[in-house]
């Protein structure tokens, strides 16, 4: 994939659980979507961290999966931190084209900023 193709690829930043509405319907009526906390888009930043903590708490008593879940969340946090570090280090690169492409690729996963179409 070249950088132009990557820039033109649509992002999937609408929440898959509530289809971007921010609400889900329950037996007692509509409530804020627990996956995006009512925002309607893929959780990012602090919302993602809150959601991870909710998932950790919800499964803390499930002995069958708690170790696997903790490992998975640890790996998610570790990989996101690496991408943030790459995104940040791109500001120091002399190669502007490479820096732009790397920032775009990291942003695709982190969803820090909206992607503008050219
Ligand atoms: Zn949602």
Residue 40 DSSP symbol: -
Asked whether residue 115 is domain-assigned, the answer is: no
Asked whether residue 118 is domain-assigned, the answer is: no
Asked whether residue 84 is domain-assigned, the answer is: yes
List, run by run, the mean pLDDT of 10-residue segments along the chain (118 residues): 41 79 93 88 81 91 92 95 93 90 90 75
Question: How many angstroms from the chain centroid is the CA of residue 113?
Answer: 11
Long-range contact pairs involving 71-79 (C-beta distance under 8 Å, separation at least 24): 76/52, 77/52
Asked whether residue 116 is domain-assigned, the answer is: no
Q: How far is the CA of 28 from the centre of ligand 1 (A)?
A: 18
Q: Which helix (H) or strand (E) holds 105?
A: helix 96-110
Q: How far is the CA of 43 from the centre of ligand 1 (A)?
A: 8
pLDDT for res 100 = 92
pLDDT for res 18 = 92
Alpha-carbon dihedral sign for residues 68, 71, 73, 75: negative
Q: How far is the CA of 60 from the centre of ligand 1 (A)?
A: 23
Asked whether residue 39 is domain-assigned, the answer is: yes
Asked whether residue 117 is domain-assigned, the answer is: no
Domain span at 42:
3-110
Q: How far is the CA of 2 from the centre of ligand 1 (A)?
A: 31
Asked whether residue 30 is domain-assigned, the answer is: yes
Query: What is the tally of structural domains in the chain?
Result: 1
Asked whether residue 34 is domain-assigned, the answer is: yes
pLDDT for res 48 = 86
Q: Is 64 left (phi over 0), alpha (psi -120 to 50) or beta?
A: alpha
């Amino acid at each position: 994939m070249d950088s132009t193709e990557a820039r033109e690829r649509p992002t999937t930043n609408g929440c898959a659980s509530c289809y971007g509405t921010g609400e889900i319907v329950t037996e007692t009526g509509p409530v804020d979507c627990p996956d995006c906390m009512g925002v309607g888009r893929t959780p990012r930043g602090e919302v993602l961290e809150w959601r991870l903590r909710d998932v950790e708490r919800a499964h803390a008593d499930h002995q069958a999966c708690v170790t696997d879940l903790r490992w998975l969340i640890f790996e998610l946090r570790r990989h996101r931190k690496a991408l943030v570090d790459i995104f940040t280090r791109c500001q120091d690169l002399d190669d502007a084209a490479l820096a732009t492409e790397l920032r775009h690729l990291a942003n695709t996963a982190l969803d820090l900023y909206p992607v503008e179409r050219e």
